[in-house]
């Protein structure tokens, strides 16, 4: 029985196609192909589930849960065609889980090596696990060439030989999940795909066959037999192919086997003693077995290794029946040049059967020590994190300084970068500030240890002034660098919340570092709280809001009560109902627990006074259910407050701004250095300003957003989510336009979450490029909500292929906005037709799909249907249906956009997407083509329904002769208006769109 993926989602259907292809490669019947595309083990029983999302990604915890579930269900083989983006040394949680589960069960984990070839040291997690049977990929040619994408070993840091085995992974034809377009379609039932994911199930199927023949064999036994009987390709080394390409026939014939069949010698240096490892020949038969051993050794370039570099303790060995014989292999790195090496021991029994043992080892230069002293801004050992990165190999690792403030790295000679964020912590370990330090280039030479010091006391504070008073709400800083285009690069970034100060240690990059960039992003808001004593002096109190606690909106005057450390004894017998509780921070308690204690006692708010040092940046979690405003105060200001309370009743005046009327989205990207004076200013001359309006339908939960600046060549990003309070704002949003970068383009990505409790649902904006002085209006979540484009789509024809990226997620009234949903409640389907005949269909989106079509001119139709029963917590656009009809023929040259029409709705609605009821009103309707131009519309028809689409009636449409149409609607007194439009142009293109509950009336 094989386990492929785990049942962890409510939607068990394969909407991607990957899982179905993999399962079919293992055990497909081939029925739809007359047996031509039958799987490796069609008789195997599959324990099938789903752990990854429809996009093909998932969390580490869910994958580990899946592996545990498979073992609990007694799966004999677990096939894992998945892996991390980065190489691993096997100490990651996924790899460790594989080792632990393998040690405590008879299950064999067959795992993909990764698709990061052809570079060395690219084995991903969990394939880096020692106990995994890790699979590489070859093609199906007579030469069985190693696939270019197949990840290679050795495993980073420990030099373990991986992968152990290979299998075909190029042009693999297997079952096609209904409605999916993964790979290159062969027909309606099968698709061809390339990848390490395609190779892995070949080995899993072979393991299943072997388990069926030998049900008493353990997973490790199966692993060693498969590896030891694989067919080695003389072109490749142990770190490229392991034992070689899987051969189930030879595996079924095997009797004696080698354990392990792939022996890792690790790494040795020119001046180290020879490395010795042992392995065993195991004989499960009833007769003694004599083996003749012949060993050949070579380096990674297939040149013979020096005589004596690898030696065996014996050349002939007799393995007793039901016993084993130990062999010793020695790897002498005083011989040979620096390289990866392998040896293959061919063991031939008296009956002519051959079992191979593959041995991998690396000769490298002796490690050198790089000692780094970390000093915080108070002169004490610094906390934080550190990343070292080898420019030449691309290998790096994150490490954490110990309490001594001295980190010793033992590294191979080479060229390195070291980047660190030093924390200056208080006595309770809470950071008071952060300091970014980077050494762009350190050259470590053989036998020359080095020592450097990171001293945060020499750092400069990063400051950004803004036109109006503001404070950091969320921010990030980091560096990215690369020697040149022929070397690996590193991008280091840390994200933070709150007003904690940011510092940097200035540095200029050497001339031989081709790219070095310091970047700093922040989102600044109006101060959330102003506080002062309620007396004739009005002395201010510098409160700092606790992150994610509710914010006060408006003015309030509250009496303060000293509640000590908020222990039960402190709260006994005092009345704090409706008052502001003042807590002394207790390093033995979590401040979140202190806040919850006074909240439970009826306090209207809380101030946490630091017991040592400045005010601290604290936060609460959603699960804490904190419902009162909370703030922190430094020790010295707290003492003043406590003295006032001790001398009599004390009242504080509070003025809170729950939702800032403005946000400064600041970004700088500085090339060549971390500046000596990291101070900048937001001005109208270097920024764009967007007046943003956020529609807030009834029943909405707490919402939030993030915005992040991207370089012109950057697509991936990470940002912290900022939450709005219950009242969603209209606000002024400022965006940097590249004032601190010599790049010509700075792009902004902005994403809005109408319900932060469900981050699978959000509204995205297309990447925006702003120019200094730009002014813009922008509305989020404005009706009508329907599939959007063309700003976020492409739809073009190249030769006889349609290339489609049309999102049938609902956008809003703002061109460029589009949504993504994934929580199982929101559904969508699409279809593609040629002259009325269905070519393809599926769920979700047509994201990045290619479809072969007729060479002759034809009429095509694309349909997109969505269902949102509780979309973003409100009841608009509960269902939508869109159909684009257009003509297309082979372009005369290159590619051309498809002739799609896109509607634009401009409906005058209030902030809750409502229109006035009981009146006749109008809205503007216009259209654009896929290329963004105004089409030659020949006719427009609009129907209206006030009973959610049960009945429809045509309404008046006025042509304003400027490409816009005025649509008249008689709004009911209450309820909803649904719209159904139809428009066509002079080229034969047509758009039909129905939106149930387009907008509400009040």
Helix axes 60-72 and 93-103, enclosed angle (nearest 10): 10
Cis peptide before 505 (omega within 30 of 0): no
Run of H or E including 833: strand 827-834
Domain layout of the chain by residue ranges: 2-254, 267-363, 459-527+659-781, 541-656, 794-1001
Residue pointed to by tokens 């909803």: 976
Decide which of 990 and 812 is more confident: 990
Kindly give the pairing relationship between strand 544-545 and strand 554-562: unpaired
Question: Distance (Å, rounded) from C-alpha 86 to C-alpha 876?
Answer: 42
Question: Distance (Å, rounded) from C-alpha 652 to C-alpha 533?
Answer: 5
φ/ψ of 373, rounded to 5, equals -95, 130
CATH 3.50.30.30 describes domain 541-656? yes
Q: Are 706 and 720 in contact (CB under 8 A)?
A: yes
Q: Which residues contact 427 (CB under 8 A, 6 or more apart)?
A: 587, 612, 613
On the 0-12 / 13-18 / 19+ scale of CB atoms within 10 A, 908 is exposed
Query: What does pLDDT average to over the chain?
Result: 90
- Chain segment 160-173, per-residue pLDDT in tens: 999 999 999 999 99
The DSSP symbol for 760 reads T
Say yes or no to pLDDT of 787 above 60. yes
Mean pLDDT of all residues in 868-897: 85
Question: Distance (Å, rounded) from C-alpha 100 to C-alpha 93?
Answer: 10
Helical H segments across 233-364, by residue range: 238-241, 248-253
- Chain segment 580-590, per-residue pLDDT in tens: 999 998 877 88
Q: Are 428 and 594 in contact (CB under 8 A)?
A: no
Q: What is the pLDDT of residue 716?
A: 61
φ/ψ of 100, rounded to 5, equals -65, -45
Q: Are 841 and 830 in contact (CB under 8 A)?
A: yes
Residue pointed to by tokens 């469900």: 758
Residue pointed to by tokens 């570099």: 309
Question: Distance (Å, rounded) from C-alpha 606 to C-alpha 627?
Answer: 11
Binning pLDDT at 50, 70 and 90, where does residue 727 land? low
Of 506-515, 600-609, 623-632, 755-764, which has the strongest mean pLDDT? 600-609
Run of H or E including 614: none
> By C-alpha distance, which of 906, 902, 903 is closest to 924?
906
Highest CATH level, class, for 2-254: alpha beta
Question: Distance (Å, rounded) from C-alpha 381 to C-alpha 139?
Answer: 54
Name the token pair of 466: 């803004």
Angle (CA) 110 114 119, round 5°: 135
Q: Are 863 and 842 in contact (CB under 8 A)?
A: no
* The three-state (H, E, C) secondary structure of 543-591, written as one string: CEECECCCCCCEEEEEEEEECCCCCHHHHCCCCCCCCEEEEECCCCCCH
Say yes or no to pLDDT of 6 above 60. no
> By C-alpha distance, which of 417, 434, 399, 423 is closest to 479?
417
- Chain segment 696-725, per-residue pLDDT in tens: 655 556 788 999 998 876 766 667 778 787
Question: Distance (Å, rounded) from C-alpha 905 to C-alpha 298?
Answer: 70
Q: Are 74 and 54 in contact (CB under 8 A)?
A: no
Name the token pair of 303: 């040149």
Question: Distance (Å, rounded) from C-alpha 860 to C-alpha 857?
Answer: 10
Run of H or E including 100: helix 93-103
What dihedral do alpha carbons 815, 821, 827, 831 form, nearest 10°? 50
Decide which of 20 and 870 is more confident: 20
Residues across the chain: 1002
111-120, 129-138, 243-252: segment of lowest average pLDDT: 111-120
Q: Are 995 and 784 in contact (CB under 8 A)?
A: yes
- Chain segment 518-574, per-residue pLDDT in tens: 999 999 999 999 999 999 888 999 999 998 899 999 999 999 999 999 999 999 999
- Chain segment 347-372, per-residue pLDDT in tens: 999 888 899 999 999 998 888 999 99
Protein fold of 267-363: Immunoglobulin-like (2.60.40)
Name the token pair of 45: 């029983």
CA 869 to chain CA centroid, nearest Å: 28
The 920-929 sheet, strands edge to edge? 901-906, 920-929, 964-970, 957-959
997: left (phi over 0), alpha (psi -120 to 50) or beta: left
Question: Distance (Å, rounded) from C-alpha 355 to C-alpha 244?
Answer: 12
Neighbouring-strand partners of residue 943: 954, 980
Q: Are 29 and 38 in contact (CB under 8 A)?
A: yes
Q: Are 189 and 33 in contact (CB under 8 A)?
A: yes
- Chain segment 62-83, per-residue pLDDT in tens: 899 999 999 999 999 999 999 9
Question: Distance (Å, rounded) from C-alpha 900 to C-alpha 887?
Answer: 9
CA distances from 64 to 113, 327, 904, 984 (A): 17, 36, 46, 53
Say yes or no to pLDDT of 8 above 50. no
Q: Are 180 and 14 in contact (CB under 8 A)?
A: yes
Say yes or no to pLDDT of 507 above 80. yes
Q: What is the pLDDT of residue 739?
A: 55
**CB 918: neighbour CB atoms within 10 A?**
11
Name the token pair of 835: 């002259």
Q: Are 454 and 374 in contact (CB under 8 A)?
A: yes
Q: What is the pLDDT of residue 48?
A: 84
Q: What is the pLDDT of residue 9?
A: 37
- Chain segment 868-882, per-residue pLDDT in tens: 776 555 688 989 999
Angle (CA) 832 837 842, round 5°: 35
Q: What is the pLDDT of residue 256?
A: 93
Name the token pair of 998: 């387009």
């Amino acid at each position: 029985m094989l386990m492929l993926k785990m049942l962890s989602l409510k939607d068990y259907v394969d909407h991607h196609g990957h899982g179905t292809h993999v399962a079919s490669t293992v055990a497909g019947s081939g029925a739809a192909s007359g047996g031509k595309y039958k799987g490796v083990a069609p008789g195997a029983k599959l324990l099938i589930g789903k752990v990854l999302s429809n996009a093909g990604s998932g969390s580490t915890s869910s994958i580990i849960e899946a592996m545990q579930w498979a073992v609990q269900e007694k799966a004999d083989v677990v096939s894992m065609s998945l892996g991390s983006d980065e190489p691993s040394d096997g100490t990651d949680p996924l790899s460790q889980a594989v080792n632990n589960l393998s040690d405590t069960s008879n299950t064999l984990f067959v795992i993909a090596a990764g698709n990061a070839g052809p570079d060395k040291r690219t084995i991903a997690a969990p394939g880096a696990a020692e106990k995994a049977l890790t699979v590489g990929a070859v093609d199906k040619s007579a030469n069985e060439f190693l696939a270019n994408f197949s990840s290679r070993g050795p495993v980073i840091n420990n030099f373990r030989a991986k992968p152990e085995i290979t299998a075909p992974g190029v042009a693999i034809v297997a079952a096609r999940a209904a409605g999916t377009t993964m790979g290159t379609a062969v027909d309606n039932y099968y698709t061809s795909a390339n990848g390490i994911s395609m190779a892995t199930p070949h080995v899993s199927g072979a393991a299943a066959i072997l388990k069926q023949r030998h049900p008493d064999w353990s997973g490790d036994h199966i692993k060693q037999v498969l590896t030891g009987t694989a067919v080695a390709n003389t072109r490749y080394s142990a770190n490229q192919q392991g034992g070689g390409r899987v051969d189930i026939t030879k595996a079924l014939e095997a009797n004696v086997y080698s354990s392990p069949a792939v022996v890792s010698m690790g790494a040795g240096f020119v001046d180290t003693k020879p490395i010795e490892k042992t392995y065993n020949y195991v004989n499960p038969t009833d007769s003694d077995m004599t083996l003749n051993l012949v060993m050949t050794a070579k380096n990674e370039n297939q040149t013979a290794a020096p005589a004596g570099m690898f030696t065996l303790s014996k050349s002939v060995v007799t393995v007793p029946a039901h016993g084993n014989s130990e062999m010793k292999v020695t790897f002498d790195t005083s011989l040979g040049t620096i390289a990866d090496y392998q040896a293959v021991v061919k063991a031939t029994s008296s009956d002519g059967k051959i079992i191979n043992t593959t041995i991998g080892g690396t000769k490298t230069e002796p490690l050198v020590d790089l000692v780094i002293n970390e000093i915080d801004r108070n002169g004490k050992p610094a906390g934080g994190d550190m990343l070292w990165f080898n420019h030449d190999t691309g290998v790096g690792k994150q490490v954490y300084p110990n309490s001594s403030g001295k980190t010793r790295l033992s590294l191979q000679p080479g060229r390195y970068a070291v980047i660190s964020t030093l924390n200056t912590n208080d006595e309770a370990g809470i950071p008071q500030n952060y300091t970014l330090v980077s050494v762009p280039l350190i050259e470590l030479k053989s036998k020359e240890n080095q020592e450097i010091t990171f001293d945060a006391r020499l750092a400069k504070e990063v400051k950004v002034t803004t036109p109006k008073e503001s404070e950091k709400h969320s921010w990030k800083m980091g560096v990215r660098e690369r020697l040149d285009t022929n070397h690996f690069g590193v991008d280091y970034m840390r994200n933070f919340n709150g007003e904690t100060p940011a510092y940097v240690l200035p540095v200029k990059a050497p001339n031989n570092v081709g790219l070095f960039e310091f970047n700093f992003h922040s989102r600044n808001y109006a101060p959330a709280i102003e506080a002062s004593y309620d007396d004739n002096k009005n002395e201010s109190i510098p409160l700092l809001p606790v992150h994610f606690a509710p914010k006060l909106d408006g003015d309030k005057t509250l009496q303060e009560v000293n509640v000590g450390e908020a222990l039960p004894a402190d709260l006994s017998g005092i009345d704090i109902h409706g008052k502001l509780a003042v807590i002394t921070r207790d390093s033995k308690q979590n401040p979140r627990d202190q806040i919850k204690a006074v909240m439970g006692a009826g306090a209207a708010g809380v101030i946490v006074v630091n017991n040592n040092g400045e005010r601290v940046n604290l936060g609460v979690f959603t699960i804490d259910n904190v419902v009162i405003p909370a703030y922190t105060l430094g020790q010295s200001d707290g003492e003043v407050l406590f003295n006032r309370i001790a001398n009599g009743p004390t009242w504080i005046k509070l003025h809170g701004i729950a939702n800032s009327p403005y946000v400064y989205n600041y970004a700088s990207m500085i090339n060549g250095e971390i500046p000596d004076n990291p101070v900048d200013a937001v001005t109208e001359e270097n920024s764009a300003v967007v007046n943003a309006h956020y529609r807030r339908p009834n029943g909405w939960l707490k919402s939030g957003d993030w915005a992040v600046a991207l370089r012109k060549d950057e697509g991936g990003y990470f940002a912290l989510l900022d939450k709005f309070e219950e009242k969603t704002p209209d606000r002024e949003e400022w965006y940097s336009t590249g004032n601190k970068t010599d790049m010509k383009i700075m792009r902004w990505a902005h994403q809005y979450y109408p319900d932060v409790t469900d981050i699978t649902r959000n509204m995205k904006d297309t990447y925006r490029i702003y120019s200094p002085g730009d002014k813009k209006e922008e509305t989020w979540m404005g009706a009508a909500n329907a599939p959007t484009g063309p700003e976020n789509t492409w739809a073009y024809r190249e030769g006889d292929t349609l290339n489609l990226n049309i999102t049938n997620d609902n956008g809003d009234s703002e061109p460029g906005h589009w949504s993504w949903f994934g929580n199982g409640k929101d559904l969508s389907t699409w279809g593609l037709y040629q002259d009325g005949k269905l070519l393809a269909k599926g769920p979700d989106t047509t994201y990045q799909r290619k479809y072969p079509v007729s060479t002759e001119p034809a009429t095509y139709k694309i349909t997109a249907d969505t269902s949102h029963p509780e979309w973003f917590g409100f009841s608009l656009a509960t269902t939508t249906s869109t159909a684009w009809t257009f003509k297309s023929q082979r372009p005369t040259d290159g590619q051309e956009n498809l002739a799609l029409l896109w509607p634009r709705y401009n409906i005058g609605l209030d902030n809750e997407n409502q229109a006035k009821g009981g009146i006749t009103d109008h809205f503007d309707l216009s259209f654009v083509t896929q290329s963004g131009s105004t089409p030659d519309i020949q006719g427009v028809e609009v129907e209206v329904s006030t009973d959610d689409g049960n009945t429809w009636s045509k309404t008046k449409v006025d042509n304003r002769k400027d490409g816009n149409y005025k649509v008249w609607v008689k709004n009911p007194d209450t309820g909803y208006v649904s719209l159904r439009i139809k428009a066509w142009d002079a080229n034969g293109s047509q758009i039909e769109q129905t939106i149930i509950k387009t907008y509400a009336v009040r």
